[in-house]
């Protein structure tokens, strides 16, 4: 066995993340349906969606500090156990009067998931060789999309056949299994322990972004990507409803089928990383995604056949995952280990914030500008992000170990050594 899979620690991390993602999707799909069945209210169901988004935005800075301050494996183990325990209050839900309890548990689960991701992303570069990092992220991307397919389907089936108790049992089992996979160590040292206040530690992470030119550049690229994604989330529903004449079933089907292409994209990463540095991988994936999206939106002038759009959305999943792998790999490659969790969580917050901005822009401008104009603008933002990334000289830094970033890391190691003496 060669590549990242040769490392047993990576295999356990991959498996733990996979089963944890299944649990996340089971709850993410089942709970809004359950709330709608419980209340019959669209606004109450929408509130549940919003509640699931807010903790990620609010806790990302804290998540990064924890990922850099604590042993990342143990942090993920603790989070998995807490996710299982946090489900228990849902056993007391009996009717619509318990909606507040449902939303509290949903918020807790979303918050814990937001703590898990920076720890996993920060730990990964410690487990695999630098050259294997994009391939490792690709394998994680395969796991995420496979978990999406399995978890989303399982959540709906379990809710229909067993009710909420069956959903809770499956969800808790997935989190406990993830914890068991994380019990054993990964053969790497825990991060250097530092104890500045949380706010100061988070600001130190922002300073690292400001100090490293590749990370400063990624702020623009990620911001454009996120704004385009925010536009997509809102405009997609309008497009399927108004242009394709679809309903809830078609909307869910077209969103879900992207995971099929995502699986292919995760496999393709293993081939592409042999030819492209991580930054180039990101740039070309964004360009392809933008062009394909523009073609898909404008194809509605020719056909509105559901089969065509099922194939189109499945194809879109591949460059989407490749772009995500490229983005994560660039961030990991150009960040020191001691602050990687804070840098990743800051970029997650950046993405969430600009995605929300894109949602607001779509809601405000879709009537005065019209759907076709905003759809083309959404595709254009992805293409622009790709062109911006393509204009950056990534290859040399990635292949040579990050240029000034590598020198910064060497200085950091020397400073720690001097401190120990």
H helices of 247-339, where? 248-256, 258-272, 278-298, 306-333
Residue 402: band (very low, low, confident or very high) from pLDDT cuts 50, 70, 90: very low
* pLDDT bucket at 81, cuts 50 / 70 / 90: very high
Q: Does domain 203-421 have CATH number 1.20.1250.20?
A: yes
- Token pair, residue 286, equals 């964004």
Our CA dihedral for 221, 226, 231, 237, rounded to 10 degrees, sits at 130
How far apart, in whole angstroms, are the C-alpha atoms of residue 298 and residue 95? 45
Give the helix/strand (H/E) hosting 83. helix 72-85
The whole-angstrom separation of Cα 338 and Cα 412 is 9
Task: Give the CA-trace dihedral at 325, 330, 335, 338, to 10 degrees.
Answer: 10
pLDDT at position 396 is 40
Q: Where are the chain's structural domains?
A: 1-183, 203-421
Res. 399: pLDDT tops 50:
no
Q: What count of other Cβ atoms lies within 10 Å of the Cβ of residue 256?
A: 18
pLDDT higher for 297 or 186? 297
Higher pLDDT, 420 or 236: 236
- Across 1-10, 113-122, 372-381, the highest mean pLDDT is recorded for 372-381
What's the CATH fold of domain 1-183? Growth Hormone; Chain: A; (1.20.1250)
Q: Are 262 and 318 in contact (CB under 8 A)?
A: yes
Query: Of 80-89, 94-103, 105-114, which one has max mean pLDDT?
Result: 80-89
Sign of CA dihedral 412, 413, 418, 421: positive
Domains 1-183 and 203-421 share a fold: yes
Is the pLDDT assigned to residue 377 strictly greater than 90? yes
* Alpha-carbon span 401 to 341, nearest angstrom: 19
Residues, the chain, total? 421
Say which range, 206-210, 262-266, 290-294, has the weakest mean pLDDT: 262-266
Question: What are the tens digits of pLDDT across the range 170-192?
Answer: 899 999 999 999 987 665 544 45
pLDDT at position 246: 80
Of 215, 203, 202, nearest to 403 by C-alpha is 215
More reliable by pLDDT, 345 or 378: 378
The pLDDT assigned to 195 comes to 57
pLDDT of residue 259: 78
Report the distance separating Cα 113 and Cα 109, nearest Å.
6
Average confidence score pLDDT of the chain: 81
């Amino acid at each position: 066995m060669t590549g990242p899979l040769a490392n047993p620690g990576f295999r356990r991390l991959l498996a733990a993340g996979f089963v944890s993602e299944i649990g996340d999707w089971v709850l993410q799909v089942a709970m809004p349906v359950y709330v709608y069945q419980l209340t019959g209210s669209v606004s109450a169901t929408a509130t549940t969606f919003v509640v699931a988004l807010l903790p990620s935005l609010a806790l990302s800075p804290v998540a990064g500090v924890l990922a850099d301050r604590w042993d990342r494996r143990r942090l993920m183990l603790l989070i998995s156990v807490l996710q299982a325990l946090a489900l228990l209050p849902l056993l007391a839900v009996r009717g619509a009067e318990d909606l507040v309890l449902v939303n509290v548990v949903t918020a807790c689960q979303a918050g814990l998931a937001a703590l898990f991701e920076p720890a996993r992303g920060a730990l990964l570069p410690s487990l695999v060789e630098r050259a294997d990092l994009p391939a490792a992220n690709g394998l994680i991307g395969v796991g995420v999309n496979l978990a999406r397919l399995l978890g989303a389907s399982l959540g709906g089936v379990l809710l229909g056949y067993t009710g909420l108790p069956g959903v809770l049992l499956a969800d808790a089992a997935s989190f406990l299994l993830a914890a068991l996979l994380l019990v054993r160590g990964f053969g790497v040292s825990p991060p250097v322990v530092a104890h500045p206040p949380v706010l100061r530690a988070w600001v130190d992470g922002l300073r690292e972004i400001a100090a490293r030119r590749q990370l400063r550049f990624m702020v623009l690229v990620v911001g454009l990507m996120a704004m385009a994604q925010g536009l997509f989330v809102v405009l997609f529903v309008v497009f399927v409803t108004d242009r394709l004449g679809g309903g809830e079933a078609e909307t869910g089907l077209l969103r879900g089928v992207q995971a099929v292409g995502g699986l292919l994209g995760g496999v393709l990463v293993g081939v592409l990383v042999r030819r492209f540095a991580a930054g180039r991988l990101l740039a070309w994936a964004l360009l392809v995604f933008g062009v394909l999206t523009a073609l898909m939106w404008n194809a509605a002038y020719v056909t509105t056949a559901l089969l065509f759009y099922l194939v189109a959305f499945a194809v879109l999943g591949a460059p989407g995952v490749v772009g995500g792998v490229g983005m994560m790999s660039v961030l990991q490659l150009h960040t020191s280990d001691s602050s990687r969790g804070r840098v990743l969580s800051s970029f997650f917050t950046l993405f969430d914030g600009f995605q929300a901005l894109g949602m607001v822009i779509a809601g405000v401008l879709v009537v005065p500008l019209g759907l076709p104009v905003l759809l083309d603008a959404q595709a254009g933002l992805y293409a622009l992000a790709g062109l911006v990334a393509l204009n950056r000289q990534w290859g040399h830094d990635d292949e040579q170990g990050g240029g000034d970033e590598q020198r910064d890391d060497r200085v950091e190691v020397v400073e720690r050594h001097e401190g120990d003496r």
